Amino acid sequence: MKSNFLVFLLLLAFLPVFAQKQSFKVACVGFYNFENLFDTIDSPDTDDSEFLPNGKRNWTTEVYNDKLKNLDRVVSELGTDLTPDGVAILGIAEIENRLVLEDFVKQEKVASRNYQIVHYDSPDERGIDVGLIYQPKYFTLTGSQAIPLMIYGSDGERNLTRDILHVSGLLDGEELHVLVNHWPSRRGGEAATAPYRNTAAALCKTVKDSLLALNPNVKVIIMGDLNDDPNSPSVKKVLEAKPKKGDVKPGGFFNPMYAYFKEGLGTMAYQDAWSLFDQIIISEGLVNEDQSGYRFHKAQVHNKPYLVQKTGQYKGYPFRTFDFDNYIGGYSDHFPVYLYLVKKEVSP
């Protein structure tokens, strides 16, 4: 009798623990270079002549719709391993305008997610922009701005390139800032153009520092086609993005893509060499275990077999849209990347 009473007391003591079970909320955040998603309409403000029905690439309505359908398939899959809703926030590069995003979010596989659009026209010489789409189920937009990237050539003339898109909002009630980037390319040589990307990195860091001054626990995500690898000076030295979570200091950045880069995994290939230009870098607020709310879980490069070219000159590369000027029905010359953020929940 005495023994049974002791067991009863023990069960009573641990009853609050048994009455609770731990679960997690999951939010997926990603980035994808859509590789020249142009509409078929001639724009008087940009040089889009090659992406017209009578242009050298024969960019017809049929081809455009096929490209949209392909991108729809890819985006619909991102993040569905851990959340049926897929990617909640997606940064996008190489789009001509808002119209192409409006056409994209209506596609069959993603239409039910009710993606909303953030976009500004940029001064890029090729007429391509960055943008962002989000599911209002997860993210509430509170503000956005296009931040000009001011870089200059040796002649003192400004090189017109993509703005940095700064999107502010609430991720399930938590303040979150996302900077979507498409940094200047390496055309003209990596060393010669490195200062341009360093300037872009410094601008991102300045924005982050200004946000930290208002909220020391602010959560910031830098994403994009950086045209640099995780070990490039722009990322490693200017942003000071660390390859290990334990090395991230207050106010610093963690680069979860570095581990994949070290393993030799890339998101795009050129002259038979892989690069990991597509990155998602997160602030210390998303890795600090002492803070509440969403935390980094893991990152991923989405390189499914169907996204890899099987034949031809680019065999083994990401299955691109064109082989020179010939449409080959691919997806993009970049693989998308994404990461999971998780938040603990305690329910009775």
Q: What is the pLDDT of residue 21?
A: 57
Q: What is the tens place of the pLDDT at every residue in 175-211?
A: 999 999 999 999 989 999 999 999 999 999 999 999 9
pLDDT tens sequence across 51-94: 999 999 999 999 999 999 999 999 999 999 999 999 999 999 99
Calpha distance 234→184 (Å, rounded) = 12
Phi, psi of 299 (to 5 degrees): -115, 165
Nearest to 207 by CA among 254, 144, 142, 293: 144
Say what the pLDDT of residue 344 is.
86
- Pick 197 or 291 by higher pLDDT: 197
Q: How far apart are CA 196 and CA 151, in angstroms?
A: 6
- How much is the average pLDDT of 113-119? 98
Mean pLDDT confidence for 164-179 = 97
Q: Which of 312, 305, 308, 338 is nearest to 320 (CA)?
A: 308
Q: Which of 26, 172, 145 is nearest to 86 (CA)?
A: 26
> Can you give the residue ranges of every domain in the chain?
22-347
pLDDT tens-digit readout, 209-254: 999 999 998 999 999 999 999 999 999 999 999 999 999 999 999 9
Please tell me the pTM assigned to this model.
0.92
Report, as an integer, the average pLDDT of 255-278: 96
At 64, give phi and psi (nearest 5°): -60, -45
Q: What is the model's pLDDT at position 4?
A: 54
For residues 2 and 222, the model is more confident at: 222
Residue 31 pLDDT > 50? yes
Q: Give dist(CA 35, CA 44) in Å, integer.
A: 21
pLDDT-based confidence at 340, cuts 50/70/90? very high
pLDDT at res. 337:
98
Q: What is the pLDDT of residue 10?
A: 44
Name the average pLDDT for the chain: 92
Tokens 């509170």 label which residue? 142
Torsion of CA 202, 204, 207, 212, to 10 degrees: -90
Could you please state the CATH topology (level 3) that the domain comprising 22-347 is classified under. Answer: Deoxyribonuclease I; Chain A (3.60.10)
